[in-house]
A and B are shown apart, each in its own frame.
Chain A
Amino acid sequence: MIGMFTHADVVDALRIGVLLTPRTCLIVDDSRIIRKVARRIVEGLGFEVDEAGDGAEALIFCSSSMPEVILLDWSMPVMDGMAFLRRMRVLPGGAGPKVLFCTIETRAERIAEALAAGADDYVMKPFDGDILTSKFAEVGAA
């Protein structure tokens, strides 16, 4: 009976499918407060948010389910952001996520280093909702 469906029906079905599958973002930061602030902003952009407290935790999360966007602190205990990024990128599907570093480190050389290591963008702390929203838009995630 496929002939009974119009092109518009198919488009609608696809659109509903997209709406029913929320976009996902993993926030990796050892500060619970930063995670909370970032979560509120990212949820406001329509993302379903998960959290990890360090790179090792985040890597375990990514090996079972790859998020669309990763907001990544640099300096963390156990495994830092840079080590996480390098290992995550070689996991199956690891090229997929848009990775935004989000850190207190603001030296130009370190920012360049993070981008060279495969980060899509870089947020310098402190940040606010406008900054994060514009960064998500610039990497094509909003």
Chain B
Amino acid sequence: MSPDDFDRLQALMSSRAGMRLTRDRMKLVEHRLGPVARAQSFESVEVMLAALWAKPVASLGWAVIEALLTPETWFRRDRSSFDTFASELLPALSAARGGDPVTVWSAGCSTGQEAWSLAMPALEQGLAIEVTGTDLSRRALEKAKSGTYTGFEIQRGLKAQTMLRWFDQVEDTWVAKPQLKAAVQFARSNLVEPPKDDYRFDVIFCRHVLSDAEPSRRGDILDNLERRLVDDGCLFLGPDEQLGGDTVAFRPVAGRKGLFVKAPSALRRAA
């Protein structure tokens, strides 16, 4: 892959997905695009990219973008955020909603582990919940929807008790039980695109997405998250992710790493 190819890939990722592709990922990019080139019947990554630059076909462009997104996730990643959600936020929100389902968005859900991790503690407490997982990657979403994980994936972050309670063993894999699946839905969504309707969630988990985002697009992503969050809702980022100067819409909650609520300015705008 030429430096020019890489520059164009960087521009593609930034403009369409708001994601940053750093130069140290050149090798990783070549590795990830190999299977895409083969699946699309190109003889090499170089030939595929040349074709894409000559005639930017949307489907090929998205296949390339989706292959370059970071799929890394696991169950209850950053356990303290899930504990805060399950033992403090969820009961309070459920009571405040009068028993109506608490709505949670797993934004950038990849293969779905986060979405299941949010639904399980609610069902265990007998609280109504609706989790929506979204991602750009169709391939990741397919896996998320199937709720099917290898032995390797299922036990990363999940206790054996929890695994047995919520997943059925099917040959060598573990599949989310129907009762769990009923509480979670998955859909494709691009975080840099503004919401097209007024639907708002009680809680948003958007972790380890902003740290991969192109710095100039972080503000857009955060604004879009803010528009999707109810005024008294909560936003969870990764524990080491900070807002910096990217937005005035949220403020951090003291003593709770990665937890944010709407700033007064955002509330006024909403009112």
Contact = CB atoms under 8 A, between A and B. Distances in A.
B164 interface: yes
A18 to B, nearest CB: 20
Contact of B156 (A111, A131, A139): A131
Interface in B160-185: 160-161, 163-164, 168-169, 172
Interface in A85-142: 106-108, 111-112, 114-115, 119, 121-124, 126-128, 130-131, 134-135, 137-139
B169 A123 contact: no
B155 interface: yes
Contact of A130 (B79, B156, B169): B156
A124 B151 CA distance: 7
A15 to B, nearest CB: 20
Given A106-B151, A107-B169, A124-B151, A130 B160 contact: no
Contact of B79 (A112, A122, A137): A137
Interface in B54-99: 74-76, 79
A124 B161 contact: no
B74 A111 contact: no
A123 B164 contact: no
A25 to B, nearest CB: 18
Q: Chain A, interface size: which category? A: 20 to 34
B156 A112 contact: no
Nearest to B169: A108
Contacts, number: 49
Given A107-B169, A130-B74, A134-B74, A115 B155 contact: no
Given A131-B155, A137-B79, A121 B160 contact: yes
B31 interface: no
B139 interface: no
A127 B155 CA distance: 9
A115 B161 contact: yes
Given A106-B151, A107-B169, A124-B151, A138 B156 contact: no
A137 B172 CA distance: 25
A7 B15 CA distance: 56
A121 B233 CA distance: 34
B152 interface: yes
B169 A124 contact: no
Nearest to B160: A122
B160 A131 contact: no
Contacts of B163: 111
Contacts of B159: 121, 135, 138-139
Interface of A: 106-108, 111-112, 114-115, 119, 121-124, 126-128, 130-131, 134-135, 137-139
9 contacts: A106-B172, A107-B169, A108-B168, A121-B160, A121-B161, A130-B74, A131-B152, A134-B76, A139-B159
By Cβ-Cβ distance, the 7 closest A-B pairs, closest first, are: A122-B160, A108-B169, A134-B157, A124-B151, A138-B159, A131-B156, A121-B160
